[in-house]
Structure 1
Amino acid sequence: MSLRSLRLRKLAAGIGVAALAALGAMGASGAAHAADPASPSNITGTTGTLTIHKHAGDPGAAGNGAEITDPDAVRQLGEALSGVQFSVQRVAYEGTAIDLTTAAGWDQAATATPANIASAPFSFANSTTVTTGADGQAALANLPYGLYYVTETNPGPNPIVSPVQPFLVSVPYPNQGTWLYDVHVYPKNKLNDTNPTKSVSAPDAPVLGSTVVWTVNAPVPALAAGDTYRSFSITDDLDDRLSYTGATVSVDGTPLVEDTDYTVSGNVKITFTSVGLSKLAGKTAVEAKISTKVMSLGADGQITNTALVNTNGSERETNSPQTNSGGLVIQKTDAATSDALSGAIFEVYDAKNGTLVAGPFTTDATGKISIDGLWVGNDSVTSRTYWVKETQAPAGYVLPADPWTEVTVTAGGTSAPTTVTLPNTQQTGPNLPLTGGAGSAAFTILGGGLVLAGVGTIVARRMRAQRS
């Protein structure tokens, strides 16, 4: 066997090992144009075809450049991935595209590897971008014979966590003593099929400014053999009504250290450092607890929050938990006139004779107390019962015999608070004499007697005057 034949065999064994990995037997189609052992001297034509077949799964045995045609082997390839983008670059040696129709070209190609291809004496003569179709295939026809460097540049809509490593492939491709002019490669990808979840806690106190904790549980996806965790992050774009206060992160229950294992930036992105990434291998899940304060109700009092978990560029979205709050307005009025009353004092409890939630509050000049927000529930729960206790009536009014009032607060914005009107009865004063009673009758009798006495005196004087 000649030295050049040995080089060709070595090159065929080394080119495209990562790319040609596929499950099942390899069919024998493709053009075998010569019965003699493959050598540059019996290459015919000047151009060939490269077809990239993209499927999900773990790489299997190395391919041989031929198309897979056996039905059982085709079924074992796994899900076809559409929308995956590849860059196909022709390799040059000392500035000239490698020509595989010559022995010198094969000698140059034999020294190329995916690791050294980007540095001298190698460079790239030209570049083409292709994208897989619905069948997972992308074909490049009329490729000049040469050595090509193939890079997966975009996963498209696919959650690829272990992209295929860049690889080299020749057109034509030596196969069992013949030349394949229609070359087929089967780079397979490991998909991220995890489903991260998110939940929200009840607040530490059911009023605005209290703390709620959003918990992200992110399963760690398995990688293809030989791959590593190159990046891992959790992004939680907080609602404007939330204020970030801190985060804790753990892997399989073991706490990590901020600024050593991960960093927190923006609003809010948790990014693993190289130290943190090294702790993911063989682990099951990452848990991140993100603490926030609810600062305002906004338009509807309903705050949803979704997180994105990114592993090696593969992004997965969590569900969207929700925390709900509503405003409460207490209106104090006169029971008889409905006039607003200031000076009444109230407290808010979670139950009758229960735990104090908020207060005390005092009604203003308009007779109102406006409580900006009370937590009413999470997710689909949008109302909650509270108990309002009047602890002091307005001056001159009576405190009700039962000072407790049950109120159902509903999630809503500042423009639509739950309103309750609570009247008070005015106090009564001491008893006063009745107009026309015993006292006035006595005065009437006395006055009448005095009038009669005066009339009698006048009559007596006149009678004396007549006698004389």
Structure 2
Amino acid sequence: MTTITNGGWGRRVVAAVGAVTIAMIGAVALAAPASATETPNGPNIDPKAKGSVTIHKYAEPDEATGLPHDGTKLTEEQLKNLTPLKGVTFSIAQVDGIDLTTNAGWTTAATLMVSADGVVTGGSTTYPTTVVTSGPTDAAGIVGFPNLPLGVYVVSEVDAGANPIAISTPPFLVTVPLATQKNTWLYDVNVYPKNSLTGVTKTVDDAKATGLGSEISWNVAAQVPNVGEGRSLNRFEIVDTLDARLGYAGASVAVTDRTGAPVTLPDGSFTVTAPATGAAGDLKVVFTPAGLAVLQEKALGGTVTATVKTTVKEIGDGSIENTVTLYVNDAKVISQDVTYWGALKVFKYAQSGEVKTGLKDAEFQVFTSEADAIARTSPVSVNGKTTFVSDASGNLTVDGLFAGVKGAGKDYWLVETKAPVGYTADTTPIKVTVKPGSIEKAEVVKVLNTQVPPPILPLTGGDGAVMFGIAGAALVLIAAGAAVVIARRRVRA
């Protein structure tokens, strides 16, 4: 999910930000052709004529097109490699008090300038303007303003729509009609302002995560815009806001050009401000003026990549979002990704009839594969703990397990490694699926234990009594025999 803000605009798109190049049609040179100023009564213009201004909005290409920009309409063949921008709103306002049917009007028009906020001045005079109409570009990137009276107009880009525009097209002046290089008048004027686009994406690398304390990486890729001629980068800043359930563990920054080749940044090209290790907060990567110059010289259309390493401290509701904000000039772009976590609960019990009794001190381990579970190798660690013990009520909680890529759920194997005293452990691995969610919503796995069988004791009247009887008789006989032997020895003596 990505949000773009340009000035007061707020938009959600999957792109990022851009710079602007205006490919206008000589709108700054507002003088009439020579033939228009040779007649004493003014230029050869029909005062009742109407004209039009048509805006064609495209993304700035990687390389300059070299196309003409003289107010004429370009062909589809000439524009085939350009990408139109839909939804960019332009307004058009007429400059009041200038009559282009007179030579004086053209003389005044030649002195006009328009500021970034649309104020028109000529020398020491400020000229008021009247908005005629406005509208967004269509799917072809076109918006037309027909039936315009003759005059000087200010064209302003007022809303980027869903487009990632960092540097808006500055207001520009255009006349209706437009003087051409062939000493003719062009009543239907076409202009081709361009905005360079880029993208910011944030992706989480958590495929190897298991339990709380695992390290996961967040990869931020911010494309350096194709800054057109006459424009410049004055801000390039990445702010990665770590969720409170994450702990900072390190970061790195790299730059590549549009071909993917690495760009070496000299020392001092950017600064990094990070939270304390293990803490949440903002990680900021800010390019210095020297770094901005390198980006503009060597990395236009390239990518700035920031890799942020974090540990997972707790799961909360199971969805841990991490948000990055990219600032390029006046644009603000937000992107985020999510890592999904869940928990596992176990109820260890014995059963007598309908009564279930929780058992204390049963020990369990969790494994990521059945093979490991059988071999008892590589148990999952949750905040450094690999063995989980049931409490006096027979309950235990494994309070943080990775719940799979995009929250699809992840399989684990639960093994009872030690039974309570007097009970027999079932060491068969139990397959469980952990899904995203809070500890309170965790699945409960019920594990039954059976008691160790008691020793077999003799019963009255049973074989045990017979054996004791036989043994007693034998002892009596032995004693009698011994007495006879002793008596005979006494007689002989």
- Counterpart among 280, 288, 308 of residue 295 in structure 2: 280
CA contact (8 A) 2:237 2:287 kept: no
RMSD: 4.6
Partner of 1:459: none
* 8 Å CA contact 1:341, 1:363 repeated in 2: yes
Change (3 A) 1:186 1:196: same
Query: Counterparts of 1:5-24 in structure 2 under 5 Å?
Result: 18-20=23-25
What amino acid maps onto 2:360 in structure 1?
A: S
Q: Percent identity?
A: 27
| TM-score (structure 1 length as normaliser) | 0.68
Matched, 1:342 2:360: yes
* Cα distance in 2 for residues equivalent to 1:309 and 1:440: 91
Query: Partner letter of residue 362 of structure 2?
Result: A
Mapped to 1, the partners of 2:345 and 2:86 lie a distance apart of 56
Q: What letter corresponds to residue 53 of structure 2 in structure 1?
A: T
Are 2:429 and 1:405 aligned? yes
Structure 1's 419 and 141: CA in aligned 2 closer, same or farther, altered over 3 A? same
Please tell me the residue identity of whatever aligns with 1:375: F
CA contact (8 A) 1:388 1:407 kept: no
* Alpha-carbon distance in structure 1 between the residues aligned to 2:143 and 2:316: 49
Q: Deviations over 1:95-142 (max 9, x none)?
A: xx4444444443343334456976662434114252244250221534
Residue ranges of structure 2 left out of the alignment (5+ in a row): 1-20, 28-32, 257-261, 470-493
Q: Judge conservation of contact 1:21–1:60 (CA < 8 Å) in 2.
A: no
Q: Please tell me the residue identity of whatever aligns with 2:292.
A: L
Q: Which amino acid aligns with 1:280?
A: L
Partners in 2 of 1:40 and 1:62 — Cα distance? 33
Aligned CA distance change for structure 1 residues 145 and 420 (closer, same or farther; 3 Å): closer
Distance across 1 between alignment mates of 2:40 and 2:324: 57
1:426 corresponds to: 451
Question: Match of 2:156, as an amino acid?
Answer: T
Q: Indicate the residue corresponding to 1:215 in structure 2.
A: 219
Counting only pairs closer than 5 Å after superposition, residues 131-146 of structure 1 correspond to structure 2 as: 131-134=135-138, 136-139=142-145, 141-143=147-149, 145-146=151-152
Q: Quote how far apart the aligned CAs of 1:372 are.
A: 1.7
SS in 2 for 1:280: helix
Q: Which residue of 1 aligns with 2:253?
A: 249
Q: Are positions 1:121 and 2:148 aligned together?
A: no
Q: Which structure has the higher relative contact order (CA within 8 Å, separation 6+)?
A: 2
Residue in structure 2 matched with residue 354 of structure 1 by the alignment: 377
Shift of 1:51: 0.6
SS at match of 1:41: coil
Provide Cα deviations, 1:200-233, integer angstroms capped at 9, x if missing partner: 23466x2235442221223334333343234445
Query: d(CA) in 1 for partners of 2:22 and 2:433?
Result: 65
1:324 and 2:324 are equivalent in the alignment: no
- Kept after mapping to 1: 8 A contact 2:250/2:309: yes
CA distance in 2, matches of 1:293, 1:229: 34
Quickly say closer, same or farther: Cα 1:37–1:196, change in 2 above 3 A. farther
Q: Deviations over 1:13-52 (max 9, x none)?
A: xxx9942179xxxxxxxxx9x8885787134417743413
Counterpart mapping for 1:351-390 below 5 A: 351-352=372-373, 353-356=376-379, 357=381, 358-379=385-406, 381-390=408-417
Once the two structures are TM-superposed, the CA of residue 186 in structure 1 deviates from its matched residue by: 1.5
Give the 3-state SS of the residue equivalent to 1:187 in structure 2: strand
Q: How many residues matched?
A: 405
Q: Counterpart in 2 of 1:446?
A: none
Stretches of structure 1 lacking an aligned partner (at least 5 in a row): 1-15, 23-31, 443-468
Contact 1:243 1:293 in 2 (8 A): yes
SS in 1 for 2:396: strand
Cα drift, residue 83 of structure 1 = 2.6
Matching residue's letter, 2:107 = D
TM-score after normalising by structure 2: 0.65
Compared CA separation, residues 261 and 306, structure 1 to 2 (3 A): closer
For the Cα contact (< 8 Å) 1:172–1:179, is it kept in 2?
A: no
* In structure 1, C-alpha distance between the alignment counterparts of 2:110 and 2:36, rounded to whole Å: 23
Question: Does the 8 A contact of 1:248 with 1:290 survive in 2?
Answer: yes
Contact 1:158–1:191 (CA under 8 A) maintained in structure 2: no
Is the 8 Å Cα contact of residues 346 and 361 (structure 1) preserved in structure 2? yes
* Residue number in structure 1 paired with 2:47: 45
Please name the residue that 1:130 is paired with: 134
Query: Is the Cα contact below 8 Å between 2:169 and 2:194 reproduced in 1?
Result: yes
Native 8 Å contact 1:256 1:262 kept in 2: no
1:278-307 deviations in whole A, cap 9, x for unaligned?
3422222111223444454455x3556676
- The 8 Å contact of residues 348 and 389 in structure 1, kept in 2 or not, is answered as no
Which position in structure 1 is the counterpart of 2:12? none
1:340 offset after TM fit, Å? 1.4
Q: 2: CA distance between counterparts of 1:289 and 1:202?
A: 16
In structure 2, the CA distance between the partners of 1:69 and 1:18, relative to structure 1 (3 Å rule), is: closer
- One-letter amino acid of the counterpart of residue 363, structure 1: S
